[in-house]
Structure 1
Amino acid sequence: MDDTNLGCMTDNTTRLDHVVLWVRDPVTAADFYEKAVGLEPVRIPEFISGEAPFPSVRLNDETILDLMPLTAAEHMKMLPGAADSSGHPVNHVCLALPGGAFDELRTRLTERSAPVSDLSYDSFGARGKAKRSFYFRDPDGNVFEARHYE
C-alpha cells in the first residue's frame, strides 16, 4: 500500500459500517432477512411506531443493512441526484459465512422458494478464493452472494 492511503486507516483496518438497500416494505424485508438469511432485526418497533425512519438487520457486531423504504427517496438530499438512486440496487452485496452457516442459509432460502443460483467454486473475493459461493435475490430484487472460504 502506498502512503497516500494510510491517512484513512486509523486502526489499520477500514470496516464496512452499513449498506442501505431500497425496499418496498421494510418490515417485510426485515422478516425475510431474519427468517431466510438469519440476520437479527434492529429498530423494528421504533420504525413501526414512527420513531425511526427505517429499520435495519445486523450482519455482525460492526455491520448492518439498512432497509430504506422507497418512499423516502424524494427526501435523499445528501448529494445532488441522491434521490435518483431509488430503485437501482447495487450489483450485489457479498456475505462471507462459515461452511455450516453457508449450508444453512442455502437451505433456508430454498425452503422459502427464494431464487438461488447454482454453486460456484473458487471465485475470488476479499480473502482470496472462496471454496463455494452462490447468489440469491431478496423480495425487493437486491442481489446477494453468499460464500465461504476454507
Structure 2
Amino acid sequence: MKETHLDHVVLWVNDPLASVEFYEKTVGLTGERVAEFAEGKVPFPSVRVSARSLFDLAPLTMAGSMNAIPGAEGTAGHPVNHVCLAMDRAAFEALHGRLRESGVPVSPYSHNSFGARGAAPRSFYFRDPDGNIIEARHYDE
C-alpha cells in the first residue's frame, strides 16, 4: 500500500513576507517561491516543512476568492486549531531556544501527547505572528 502523506497546510497570514521571515529565522524552515511572490508572479509564498510537505502562507486578501471552490463557501480565512511539527530531540530543543531568544511566548511542556507516531515525550505550543498556533514535538528515536 502506498503511503499517504500531508502535502500542504494553508495558513492565512496578514503579511506573507513577514511570515516567511518568522518561519525561516525563528522556526528554522526554508522559504519557497519567496522572490516570485515579492515580484507578483505567484499568489503566495510557502515554507518547506519536509521534503514532502509545505505551509502555504496565503494572504488574507485571497480569502474571498477561495469561496469559489465547490463546497468551501464561507470557510476561507478560518483558522485551524493548530498544526503540529514533529522533529528530532535536538531540533526540538533548538527551536524552543530560538523562540525564547526571539521573545516568542511558549507554553509549558506537555508530556506523552498522542500523535501520528504514538506518544511524544514532550511537546509545546507557540503562535506565529498571525496568531496561528503551532505545536512542536519530538519522538524517541
1:89 and 1:18 mapped to 2: Cα distance? Answer: 15
Do the aligned residues in 2 keep the contact of 1:73 with 1:83 (CA within 8 Å)?
no
- How big is the shift at 1:142? 0.4
Unaligned runs of 5+ in 2: none
What's the CA shift string for 1:35-91, capped at 9, x where partnerless?
Answer: 0100000011100110000000000110010000000111111134445431x2100
SS in 1 for 2:90: helix
SS in 2 for 1:103: helix
Of all paired residues, the percent bearing the same amino acid is 55
Number of the residue aligned with 2:70: 79
- How big is the shift at 1:25? 0.2
Greater radius of gyration (CA): 1
* TM-score, normalization by structure 1: 0.89
Structure 1 counterpart of 2:29, from 39, 43, 48: 39
2:108 and 2:31 mapped to 1: Cα distance? Answer: 28
Q: Quick check: 1:29 aligned with 2:25? A: no
C-alpha RMSD of matched pairs (Å): 1.1
- How big is the shift at 1:114? 1.2
User: How many pairs does the alignment contain?
Assistant: 139
Q: Quick check: 1:132 aligned with 2:116? A: no
Number of the residue aligned with 2:90: 100
Give the residue type in structure 1 aligned to 2:70.
L
Do the aligned residues in 1 keep the contact of 2:86 with 2:136 (CA within 8 Å)?
yes
Number of the residue aligned with 1:3: none
* TM-score, normalization by structure 2: 0.94
Give the residue type in structure 1 aligned to 2:10.
V
1:120 and 1:73 mapped to 2: Cα distance? Answer: 33
Structure 1 counterpart of 2:55, from 47, 53, 65: 65
Unaligned runs of 5+ in 1: 1-10
1:80 and 1:12 mapped to 2: Cα distance? Answer: 28
Give the residue type in structure 2 aligned to 1:71.
T
